[in-house]
Amino acid sequence: MDNNYILLIVIVLIYLFLIGYVGYVAWRRTKSADDYMVAGRETHPFIMALSYGATFISTAAIVGFGGVAGVYGMGLLWLTVLNILVGIFIAFVLFGKRTRKMGHNLKALTFPEFLSRRFNSKFIQYFSGAIIFLGMPLYASVVLIGMARFVETTLGINYSIALIAMAIIVAVYVIFGGIRGVMYTDALQGTIMFIGMIIVLGFIYWITGGIIGGNQALTNLINVVPPNATAAAAATGFTGWTSMPSLGSPFWWTLVSTLILGVGIGVLSQPQLVVRFMTVKSNKELNRAVLIGGIFIFMMTGTAFIVGALSNVYFFNTVGQLAIQVVGGNADNIIPKFISAAMPLWFAYLFMITLLSAAMSTLSAQFHVQGTALGRDIFETITGTKGKSSVLVARAGITIAVIVAVILGFTLPTNIIAVGTAMWFSITAAAFLSMYVFALFWKRSTKVGVISGLVIGALLSIFWLVFEYKKSAAALGICKAITGQTVLIAANPWPTVDSIIIALPIAFVITVVVSLLTKPQPKEQLDKIFRGV
Amino acid sequence: MTILVLGINDPWVFSAYILAILSMLLCVVYGALNWNKGGEDEEKQVKEEMEWHKKEKEMEEEELGLWDEEG
């Protein structure tokens, strides 16, 4: 036991030393370079792609969605397809290049600032800032939960202690190192994540009998397990781990609308990711980043989903139970449990570092974006005050964000990581995606049009989450308190249809209709914004 | 009769498995083909940005104190 702790401490110290060293080198470089932001724009494509990837892929993706794959099976690989095609290819090639050029023309540094300058509206900036500041703690807290669950399982310590310890480590990191050399430490963390995941993928196929053998074993599993083990899931549409749920069943709607579409499409309008496009100096970097990002995301999400699904084979062969039974019904624990049960201890520690990397890179970006949302987008825009007071507000914003994330970490129910992530992606997609798409591609879109889409999309998706989407409505209890029912429409499939399916199309239509009814933006403004696009 | 591809019997699932690999290859091929393209306006733009970042930096120094207080 003592040796194990020495090993753990050595691994953690090496890791912290590496992060500290890279952060220091980055800091030195930024000092000698003309300035921080330009240094950011001269970033190597490897750094840019891994930084984007490490921010995109968090513990939520690996632990939360990996665990969900243990329940929903390999159908979740559709999310990998969307993550690569939409989250990398479309995001970089179609959205990224335009965002970079227009961001340059607009001199924008944050996502709300980009949108607000594109349409010449301060309201867009503080309203978007408010959505980010109020909504993002949910996402940040599920990332924290993912990390804490792993530490709880691997080190055998109390979940609450793990949660607070993680929050403190991340807060220190964000405050002292996270703002400066963030791209470089992200890239190092991305590299660690990549190596960790390759080892796990190789390992799981090695112990389950190779790619075809392992998949085949998973396909056969549904015929081998006692029917009562899957009865509850089967009643809602589950058909096996290598087949899609029954079309239109609640199980199908959750998998397809919330997990696959919500996250797969919602990624396009993630504020902390869009910002990355504004920090590259030319399309060349984006072209190169597509190559690296494609491989990275494939290895991260593909591995997590395959491992989550195949962990059923491992657990059934070793303890005669399904993954979800082994963890007592909390899917958030499937990946941690698998790593600590199946793999050598030294690797469990190494994987913990992998996850710590994933959590830190995502959380630092999230907390930073929340801080600037409160300081720059809300406080400065509304009060018109600049100077020291807005710094204080931004720092207060980061502190509040960390505290709220920790409180949510204690109060949120189990099985929350993937759903919490998906909810945040849905809200941001409903609010920002139509505006962002039209900002980039449709010159006829107007200020009033996009504001209508923004406000209605945001309100509609929040309304849906509070009153109709069962998982969130039941947890919040607001609908129950007002109407006496858990959700407004109890008939299937509505309680399992994700808000993105409802709110996003409506926001799109409203933006188009209102834009066509209102006066177009002056041509000289548009010429300036679209210069060189 | 069900067809097994990669040990998976549902076409909707094995096609996701294969499409995920193909999507990755698409990114690799696109990135490789365009590896040196798109850098034409780089110099001009970096020069422009140096200018406005200098201004931005001065502003931020006053507003946020982000750059000078630790270094």
CB contact under 8 A, B35 and A212: no
Judge contact between A439 and A445, C-beta under 8 A: yes
Task: Flag whether pLDDT at A55 surpasses 70.
Answer: yes
- Cross-chain Cβ contact B45/A37 below 8 Å: no
Q: What are the residue ranges of helices labelled H in A156-181?
A: 159-173
Q: What is the tens place of the pLDDT at every residue in A115-158?
A: 999 999 999 999 999 999 988 888 899 989 988 988 888 888 89
Residue A154 Cα, gap to closest chain B Cα (Å): 30
The arithmetic mean of pLDDT across residues A467-478, rounded, is 88
Higher pLDDT, A366 or A174: A366
- Rounded Cα distance between A236 and A388, Å, is 56
Which residues of chain B are within 8 Å of residue A38 when distances are taken between CB atoms?
Answer: 46, 49-50, 53
Q: Measured in whole angstroms, how far is the alpha carbon of residue A532 from the centre of its chain?
A: 32
Distance (Å, whole) CA A27 – CA A33: 10
3-state secondary structure of A180: coil
A468 within 8 A of A491, measured Cβ to Cβ:
no
Chain B interface test: which of A109, A215, A247 (most B C-beta within 10 Å): A215
Looking at residue A268, what is its pLDDT? 93
Separation of alpha carbons A152 and A63, rounded Å:
13
Q: How far apart are CA B7 and CA B3, in angstroms?
A: 9
pLDDT at A70 over 80: yes
Closest-CA distance of chain A to residue B18, Å: 9
- What interface predicted TM-score (ipTM) does this complex get? 0.88
pTM, whole model, 2 decimals? 0.89
Residue A483's Cβ-count burial label (10 Å; 0-12, 13-18, 19+) is exposed
Between A55-59, A69-73, A89-93, A125-129, the lowest mean confidence (pLDDT) is in: A55-59
**What are the pLDDT digits (tens) for A402-411?**
889 999 999 8
- Per the CB < 8 Å rule, is A75 touching B12? yes
Average pLDDT over residues A155-173: 85
CATH number (domain holding residue A371) = 1.20.1730.10
Q: Is residue A127 part of a domain?
A: yes
Partners of residue A35 in chain B, C-beta under 8 Å: 53-54, 57, 67
Give the whole-number percent of chain A exceeding pLDDT 90: 55
- Note down the domain range covering A338: 2-418
How close B3 gets to chain A, by Cα (Å)? 12
**Any domain includes A453:** no
How many whole angstroms from its chain centre is CA A274?
Answer: 13
Q: Is residue A492 part of a domain?
A: no
List, as ranges, residues 399-458 from A with C-beta within 8 Å of B: none
Q: What percent of chain B has pLDDT over 70?
A: 55
In 10 A of CB A25, how many CB atoms? 13
Whether residues A291 and B28 touch (CB distance < 8 A) is answered with yes
Q: Which of A88, A104, A107 sits opposite B45 (nearest CB)?
A: A104
Residue A248 lies in a domain: yes
* Model confidence band, residue A34 (pLDDT cutoffs 50, 70, 90): very low
Give phi and psi for B5, each to the nearest 5.
-120, 125
More confident residue, A60 or A93: A93
Query: Is A413 domain-assigned?
Result: yes
Does the residue A161 lie in any domain? yes
| Structure confidence by residue, pLDDT tens digits, A418-440 | 888 888 999 999 999 999 999 99
> Which residue, among A28, A29, A56, A84, would best test binding to B if mutated, counting the most B CBs under 10 Å from its CB?
A84
Judged by average pLDDT, the poorest of A6-15, A130-139, A318-327, A480-489 is A6-15
- Hey, are the CB atoms on A84 and B24 less than 8 Å from each other? yes
Are the Cβ atoms of B10 and A243 closer than 8 angstroms?
yes
* pLDDT for residue A291: 92
- Residue A292 inside a domain? The answer is yes
Q: Residue B2: exposed, middle, or buried by beta-carbon count in 10 A (0-12, 13-18, 19+)?
A: exposed
Considering its fold, how many domains does chain A have in total?
1
Q: What does the DSSP assignment read for B8-36?
A: B--HHHHHHHHHHHHHHHHHHHHHHHTTT
pLDDT band at A51 (very low <50, low <70, confident <90, very high): confident
Of B20, B62, B70, Cβ closest to residue A77:
B20
CA distances from A387 to A15, A286, A384 (A): 37, 34, 10
Do residues A26 and A181 touch, judged by C-beta distance below 8 A?
yes
Residue-wise pLDDT for A284-320, tens only, equals 888 988 998 999 999 999 999 999 999 999 999 999 9
Contact of B20 with chain A, judged by CB distance below 8 Å, is answered with: yes
What SS3 state is found at A174?
A: helix
Both structure tokens of A438: 């039209």
Classify residue A423: in a domain, yes or no: no
Mean pLDDT for the stretch of residues B37-51: 70
Cβ separation of B27 and A290 shorter than 8 Å?
Answer: yes
Q: pLDDT tier at A29 (50, 70, 90 boundaries)?
A: low
